[in-house]
Structure 1
Amino acid sequence: MFLFKISPVSTARRYTLSLSCPDRVGVVAAVSTFVASHQGWITEAQNHADQTAQRFFLRHEILADSLPFGIDEFRRQFAVIAQPFQMDWKITDSAQKKRVVILVSKLEHCLYDLLSRWQSQELDIEIPCVISNHEKFRKFVEWHDIPFYHVPVTPETKQTAYDKIQYLFTEAQGDVMVLARYMQILTPEMCDRYPGQIINIHHSFLPSFIGAKPYHQAYDRGVKLIGATCHYVTSELDAGPIIDQDVNRIDHTDSVEDLVRYGKDIEKTVLARGLRYHVEDRVLRHGNKTVVFR
């Protein structure tokens, strides 16, 4: 992987170009030549060649004001460059903040952490609403001037509930849905409708201990490390592409309650970090794997 980064003005508006394509000679040259030919200023450049998959991944940040045209014209002209390389690509504008819809159940730590990072502008996002299958956090969320929607989920009403969630997500013009310890399993249809747009935090170091009560599973197994995994949601439970993970060392003196307590700290950190990578367009997916340009 190659990294080149300069930061003339960290708050300057920028375009982020990210792409993957079959690995071959000339990809970096084609992209950089295109940008340079329009006097574009690349402030961050990263790439990676996956020798096993024979696929190339690239991410560039470009100062928007250094180009003589806007993002729509960039798309039109760059498409001519992308076609012969079979690029799967996109370009985004930092002026358009990602709209993050948060889903939560009864555990507060991830929700509190995300709202704190949002309020302090550590996460440069918009939160158009919070959705929960319980009323518990309504006052807390509305105190932040964020709309709160209570959508109960029961075995009998699950499809109706998920139809309502999808409606709310669409109405909010959501870019990404974050399951901040939302303790419900989404339907395969919902997962398939939003590929790469639903992020979950699972309270174990996947692929170990999928499903319910992973800390109890870990305790029963006598593990020496516990962890948390931020991943994209797919129709296969807890098996989507992994964005970020972290661990904490434990020993035989730790109880299940200790594991849960340690785990909460890891969960909120890993979720926030994974979400930041996503909203900054640092995650490129290929199959069930990711390339994350940190």
Structure 2
Amino acid sequence: MNKSITILVNCTDEKGLIYKITRVLYENGLNIVKNKEFVDEDTNRFFMRTEVEGIADAKALLEALTKVLPPNSRIEVVPDRKKKLVILVTKENHCLGDLLMRNHFNEWNAEIKGVISNYALLKDFTERFNLPYHHIAAEGFSREEHEQLLISTINSYAPDYIVLARYMRILTPSFVKQYDGKIINIHHSFLPAFIGAHPYRQAYNRGVKIIGATAHFVNNNLDEGPIICQNVIPVDHSQNAAEMSRAGKGIEKMVLVQALKLVLEDRVMLSGNKTVIF
């Protein structure tokens, strides 16, 4: 049976790139099923996502592509397999609950390996889905000490991605660096508006007419990482901050799931502080 492989290429743009890549795929006996490419003219970068079928040695294929592409190209050869996720939460249950339900019914190309929280509040709820729940309290520890406990638990699962499902703690630069490009956060505002804490209160104080949610990769600038997905819903003057927060829970769940679906299908490529999405 032929196996599905996704190939992601990010390199300096030059003539003949598509020919060079597809020739390597042909020579390796691979059949192209889907293909899309994009050139960012501002940075002169070429992006290509290709789905192929066939039997291939991933290491040999990567070496062959590296030989024909410009120096410092970023190439990924990704086999079709379920990605492993670790979820970090605090007290809110709506995003976690949606993810656990989808995981339980195998609705996506992922497997949640465990849930970690600085509170015990969601332990019983999580364990109803037969998933391990790790309560790692932050009290009595420095931020760095607490994160070392997190890292030890996270690494025991060797996840592909860490999902912050309303995890309300700011991560240190060393933690972010360790999982560079692998941490996905849902922020409860339409970024770049209302960065940081209490965005619904900030939105209410400004009298906004829409509220939204943003799923993004985490970097060292608070709520300023590359954006994956966003959406909004309308609000009006009759809603206070608490009512806006309740209304926003639905859009938070939807945006987080949409972003994860794109990431899990290998449709998201990083381009500086932006994303290219196929």
Q: 2:232 aligned to 242, 247, 253, which one? A: 247
| Unmatched segments (≥5 aa) in structure 2 | none
Does residue 87 (structure 1) correspond to residue 73 (structure 2)? The answer is yes
Contact 1:232 1:240 in 2 (8 A): yes
Residue identity opposite 1:46 in structure 2: K
The CA deviation at 1:257 is: 2.3
Contact 2:9 2:48 in 1 (8 A): yes
Q: Distance in 2 between matches of 1:39 and 1:279?
A: 26
Contact 1:218 1:226 in 2 (8 A): yes
TM-score normalised by the chain length of structure 1: 0.90
Contact 2:62 2:75 in 1 (8 A): no
Does residue 201 (structure 1) correspond to residue 186 (structure 2)? The answer is yes
Match of 1:33 in 2: 23
Residue identity opposite 1:259 in structure 2: M
Superposed, which structure 2 residues align to 1:36-75 within 5 Å?
36-63=26-53, 66-67=54-55, 69-75=56-62
Superposed, which structure 2 residues align to 1:89-108 within 5 Å?
89-95=75-81, 97-108=82-93
1:79-108 deviation per Cα after TM superposition (whole angstroms, max 9, x unaligned)? 2223x364211111113x211000001000
The CA deviation at 1:13 is: 3.6
Contact 2:28 2:61 in 1 (8 A): no
Q: Distance in 1 between matches of 2:208 and 2:273?
A: 26
Match of 1:4 in 2: none
Q: Distance in 2 between matches of 1:237 and 1:43?
A: 39
The CA deviation at 1:135 is: 0.8
Q: Distance in 2 between matches of 1:129 and 1:174?
A: 10
The CA deviation at 1:37 is: 2.5
1:171-224 deviation per Cα after TM superposition (whole angstroms, max 9, x unaligned)? 111111100001111111111221101110000011110000000100100111
1:228-275 deviation per Cα after TM superposition (whole angstroms, max 9, x unaligned)? 010111111111111111111112122222211221111111111111
Q: Distance in 2 between matches of 1:164 and 1:19?
A: 35
Contact 1:118 1:124 in 2 (8 A): no
The CA deviation at 1:164 is: 0.8
Q: Distance in 2 between matches of 1:145 and 1:81?
A: 47
1:13-38 deviation per Cα after TM superposition (whole angstroms, max 9, x unaligned)? 41110111111111111111211233
SS at match of 2:228: strand
Does residue 16 (structure 1) correspond to residue 6 (structure 2)? The answer is yes
Does residue 78 (structure 1) correspond to residue 65 (structure 2)? The answer is yes
Q: 1:143 aligned to 121, 128, 153, which one? A: 128
Q: Count how many residue pairs are aligned between Structure 1 and Structure 2.
A: 278
SS at match of 1:204: coil
| Unmatched segments (≥5 aa) in structure 1 | 1-8
Q: Distance in 1 between matches of 2:250 and 2:202?
A: 19
Match of 1:276 in 2: 261
The CA deviation at 1:44 is: 1.3
Residue identity opposite 2:147 in structure 1: Y
Residue identity opposite 1:201 in structure 2: I
